[in-house]
């Protein structure tokens, strides 16, 4: 009789036990921090006909009557010091005389980069456009109506409930800002896919005035773009390339010198351009150091953290000077470095501040040499370079560092899940010579 009573009680309360257990499991799953993965990425390779060799640049500015002799000499000096190869590219409308900015040309340029890059990425990953839950596009200087994300949704016939976001005016660091946004959305919407497109449009941004700080952009930026797929689906861990570990963003816009370092304005002749200050290497170095202070506790081993804190204390009480302060060895935290290819001075400033070797900044230098400054997508050309060179191994950590107007320095830390999924990037096919020493001498 007691046995029957116990059995009856168990059966009577069984639905309640199941309900409580199920509720507890759902609460646990909701609160549990989900991982975010990078499935794959693709970098745009402009057609060979878009190449912009030095001779073409010289001819363009010599035939343009709006360019005075002083400006012409300045432009030639900048391009000679840029370290660019003869393979960097610009959109065709920027290679004619005179250069005539056009919204139609800008849309065509954006479409040519975005559609081809996204299509290649979806083909490689075998992902249907209708499977995308989040879509993010970033282009600092071009924000049309309808938006760039609307162009993508229309071209690939995505779902009507896809979450779309456009980021503009954030400079070359916008790519990592997009990653941060995608991470937050993917964690809020578990088991989702996010497509990110990072690029810049040049067709509207040729400066035809005489201000040297604004003329620099005519020499600096080149055509390029990247698309990447991020996921918070648990089963994607088996096929993903990388797992996102950390994101650190530093914004120093409250300081006037940093805020005005990269600034869009009009000159005395009412011509629009983007001014780049000579102080940008120093500002980039200072902002990088501030970013490192926030990132260091997340990635450095305790031994390095203790040495850094002890050095900071000694500097504070003036036992040692600032030049003698200990700089943490980030090579103990990272195997690879992808520093935004904003220019030779920017890469050299990061190299100095981080105590890196030439081998550590090889990917950045080669990207600058072969593709030029492609704005927010440059860090992906660098990661593609490392994959093509078969340098990424399972378990390696990669530090992506991007600088942008504002002034901003943003960091993304990725851990390679499986190097078996890395591949030769289409953008780098035929661009990496076997004689690396000879290639470096070109810089």
Q: Give the residue numbers annotated as catalytic, written as ranges.
A: 172, 336, 340, 369, 373
Whose tokens are 């890469």? That residue is: 347
List residues bridging with 231 in a β-sheet. 37, 193
Q: Are 112 and 250 in contact (CB under 8 A)?
A: no
What are φ and ψ of residue 78, in 5° steps?
-65, -45
The number of C-alpha atoms within 13 Å of 33 and in the hemisphere containing its C-beta is: 4
Tokens matching residue 60: 């363009």
Q: Which residue has the tokens 């991982």?
A: 35
Q: What is the rounded CA–CA span in Å between residue 106 and residue 103? A: 5
Angle in degrees, CA 17, 18, 20, rounded to 5: 65
Closest CA to 36 of 296, 415, 411: 415
Phi-psi region of 402 (alpha: psi -120 to 50; beta: other; left: phi over 0): beta
CA 146/CA 163 separation, integer angstroms: 15
DSSP states along 163-189: EEEEE-S-GGGHHHHHHHHHHHHHHHS
Q: Find the angle CA(100)-CA(106)-CA(109) to the nearest 5 degrees.
A: 115
The structure tokens listed for 334 are: 């990272």
Which DSSP string corresponds to 293-333? HHHHHHHS-HHHHHHHHHHHHHHHTTSS-GGGSPPP-GGGT
390: its two tokens: 């078969």
Rounded Cα distance between 36 and 42, Å, is 18
Residue 399's CB: how many other CB atoms inside 10 A? 21
Instruction: Show Cβ contacts of residue 39 under 8 Å, excluding neighbours closer than 6 positions.
Output: 125, 127, 228, 229, 230, 231, 236, 239, 240, 241
Whether the bond between 146 and the residue before it is cis, its omega within 30 degrees of 0, is yes
């Amino acid at each position: 009789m007691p046995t029957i009573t116990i059995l009856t009680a168990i059966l009577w309360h069984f639905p309640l036990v199941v309900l409580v257990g199920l509720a507890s499991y759902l609460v646990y799953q909701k609160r549990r921090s989900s991982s975010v993965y990078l499935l794959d990425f693709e970098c745009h390779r402009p057609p060979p006909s878009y190449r912009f060799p030095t001779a073409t640049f010289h001819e363009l500015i010599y035939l343009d009557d709006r360019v005075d002799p002083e400006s012409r000499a300045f432009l030639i000096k900048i391009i000679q010091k840029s370290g660019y190869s003869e393979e960097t590219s610009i959109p065709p409308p920027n290679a004619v005389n005179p250069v005539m900015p056009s919204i139609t040309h800008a849309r065509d340029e954006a479409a040519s980069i975005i559609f081809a890059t996204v299509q290649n990425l979806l083909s490689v990953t075998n992902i249907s456009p209708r499977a995308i839950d989040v879509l993010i596009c970033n282009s600092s200087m071009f924000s049309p109506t309808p938006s760039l994300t609307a162009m993508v949704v229309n071209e690939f016939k995505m779902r009507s409930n896809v979450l779309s976001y456009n980021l503009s005016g954030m400079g070359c660091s916008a790519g990592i800002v997009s990653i941060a946004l995608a991470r937050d959305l993917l964690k809020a919407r578990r088991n989702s896919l996010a497509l990110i497109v990072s690029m810049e449009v040049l067709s509207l941004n040729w400066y035809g005035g005489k201000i040297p700080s604004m003329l620099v952009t005519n020499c600096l930026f080149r055509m390029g773009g990247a698309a990447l797929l991020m996921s918070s689906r648990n089963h994607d861990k088996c096929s993903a390339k990388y797992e996102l570990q950390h994101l650190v963003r530093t914004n120093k816009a409250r300081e006037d010198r940093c805020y005005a370092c990269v600034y869009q304005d009009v000159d005395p002749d009412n011509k629009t351009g983007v001014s780049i200050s000579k102080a940008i290497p120093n500002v980039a170095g200072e902002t990088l150091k501030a970013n490192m202070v926030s990132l260091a506790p997340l990635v450095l081993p305790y031994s390095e953290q203790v040495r850094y804190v002890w050095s900071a204390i000694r500097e504070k009480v003036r036992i040692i000077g600032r030049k003698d302060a200990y700089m943490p060895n980030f090579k103990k935290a990272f195997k690879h470095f992808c520093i935004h290819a904003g220019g030779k001075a920017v890469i050299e400033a990061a190299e100095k501040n981080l105590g890196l070797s030439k081998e550590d900044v090889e990917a950045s230098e080669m990207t600058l040499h072969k593709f030029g400054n492609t704005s927010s997508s440059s860090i992906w050309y660098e990661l593609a370079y490392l994959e093509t060179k078969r340098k990424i191994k399972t378990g390696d950590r990669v530090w992506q560092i991007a600088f942008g107007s504002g002034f901003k320095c943003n960091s993304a830390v990725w851990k390679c899940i499986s190097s078996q999924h890395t591949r030769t990037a289409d953008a780098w096919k035929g661009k990496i010579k076997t004689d690396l020493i000879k290639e470096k001498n070109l810089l």
